[in-house]
Structure 1
Amino acid sequence: MAVTDEAILKIKEMIVSGDLGPGDRLPPEKELSEALGLSRSSLREAVKALEVIRVLDVRRGDGTYVTSLEPRLLLEAMSFVVDLHDDASILEIFAVRRILEPAATAMAAGKLDSDTIAELTAMIAAVDETTSVEGLVEHDLEFHRRIVTAAGNSYLSSLIDSLSSHTVRARIWRGVTQENAVSRTLHEHAGIVAALERGDADLAHALTVVHVSGVEQWLREAL
């Protein structure tokens, strides 16, 4: 194992064990390197690596702190990787969405109160044939974001949000070139809300699979 990797693992162990928690300041470099039995240079490299993936926050002139460790921060590294996709690999992103988003929607069934159902219904009613393609896609993003958030799993929510935001270009492309994109989207959204209102997790899951797969299948044929 490389010395830097060993240093990363030792800092990770400190966080996992509770010796360091969110917001805590790391001991001074000399003190920490001696405590972990590492050279200061390897410790410095480990800190840089953990800063990149948002586990640590290096504040010049102040010290190094553990971040909040919130999912949205920790998943930023994955978001960076997804940013590098090309038109072929985006199909793989859709395939992952097709697995995760329906599962999250099913988890949300039974957890949505009447106010949230009413908000989702109002969101659908606010869109019509005069809505721009960009407006339709923005509606779609927020619609699914509300549902996934209700599932109550912040890691899943952050992951899906990252994946979903990187399919916007394809969804706009579909909206521009495919007829009845607005009515099709609203019809599918209404079906999902109706299933969620009844607490029917299986139906909500199935309808979301169809919804995500529609764009995926169109893109596969377009490419």
Structure 2
Amino acid sequence: MHDTLEAFAIQLIDLSHPEPDGSRRLIPERELCARLDVSRGALRERLSQLEYIGVLSRRQGHGTYLQAPGPDVIRTYFTTMRALGFLDSTEIAEAREMLETVVAVQAARRATAADAERLRALVDEMVACTAAGDHDAATEADLAFHAGLFRIVDNPVFTMVHTGLAYALQQAMHERRARAIAAETPDADGRTETDTIHYPVVDAIAANDPDAARDAIRRHFEIHSLITLDTAEEAPA
């Protein structure tokens, strides 16, 4: 049996049978022990490790299966890193900006008219909720907007990282958005730039214009950073 958990998982894939849902059913433990030349105790310890990270599931009465893991492990990693002080809101925001710049460009290349309309509806919801003073709902619409970009791109790697970051990102977004709203003066229609800066992103995606999408998402982050930076500098006074 290989030393690394990754190599062990690959060994198990070779000793399993494909299922229609994409998972793979393992052969019985007795056969696994014989094929891998390990004790049942050692095998079960490794299987438990894979189960813990979501790669393996035991279905009562059916058997043991290898499956694609969910984002729980990555989410736990980022959440714990933040709680321990090894990751702060600034670093999360920086990573988010770099990642979403790439994602916005790809979304512009792949988006349908329906995708763009869903994004526009979320910006409309942001605007309406902020004007009504429902900032929690506005933040949820904001988070849904950015998650929508990843949904359009539909790349498992980006989706996994974004979903894993979701909890830490949600906390950071609430903090930054609260500072931005506090710093801004709404226009005559009660709209804030924190919300309306999303419209150019939608327009670029609706036009399937990657360059405009890149410029719009960068402008979105620049405006948001300027607003929150000004608020942070004024706070001590």
The interval holding the TM-score normalised by the smaller chain is: 0.7 to 0.9
Q: Larger relative contact order (C-alpha < 8 A, sep ≥ 6)?
A: 1
1:195 maps to: 204
Gaps of 5+ in 2: none
Report the TM-score when normalising by structure 1: 0.81
- Within the candidate set 175, 178, 183, 1:179 is matched to 183
User: What residue number does 1:125 align with?
Assistant: 124
Calculate the aligned-residue CA RMSD, in Å.
2.9
Match of 1:13 in 2: 11
Shift in CA distance, 38/116, structure 1 to aligned 2, threshold 3 Å: same
Which residue of structure 1 aligns with residue 159 of structure 2?
Answer: 157
Aligned-partner residue type, residue 160 of structure 1: H
Q: Distance in 2 between matches of 1:199 and 1:80?
A: 35
Aligned CA distance change for structure 1 residues 186 and 100 (closer, same or farther; 3 Å)? same
With 101-110 and 163-172 compared, the bigger mean Cα shift is at 163-172
**Deviation string, structure 1 residues 1-50 (Cα, Å, up to 9, x no partner):** xx6735762332342x5844443321221210111122222211110111
Bigger shift: 114-123 or 176-185? Answer: 176-185
Q: 2:79 aligns with which of 68, 79, 83?
A: 83
Unpaired stretches in structure 1, ≥5 consecutive residues: none
**8 Å Cα contact 2:97-2:221 kept in structure 1:** yes
Question: After the TM superposition, which of the residue ranges 83-92 and 40-49 deviates more from structure 2?
Answer: 83-92
Q: Which range is displaced more, 24-33 or 177-186?
A: 177-186
Instruction: Judge conservation of contact 1:83–1:166 (CA < 8 Å) in 2.
Output: yes
Q: Count the aligned residue pairs.
A: 216
TM-score normalised per structure 2: 0.77
Summarize deviations over 1:44-80 as a string: whole Å, max 9, x none. Answer: 111011111111012456532112x1xxx34321111
Classify the secondary structure of the residue corresponding to 2:197. Answer: helix
Alpha-carbon contact 2:53-2:73 (below 8 Å) kept = yes
Structure-to-structure mapping, 1:91-170, within 5 angstroms: 91-126=90-125, 127-128=127-128, 129-170=131-172
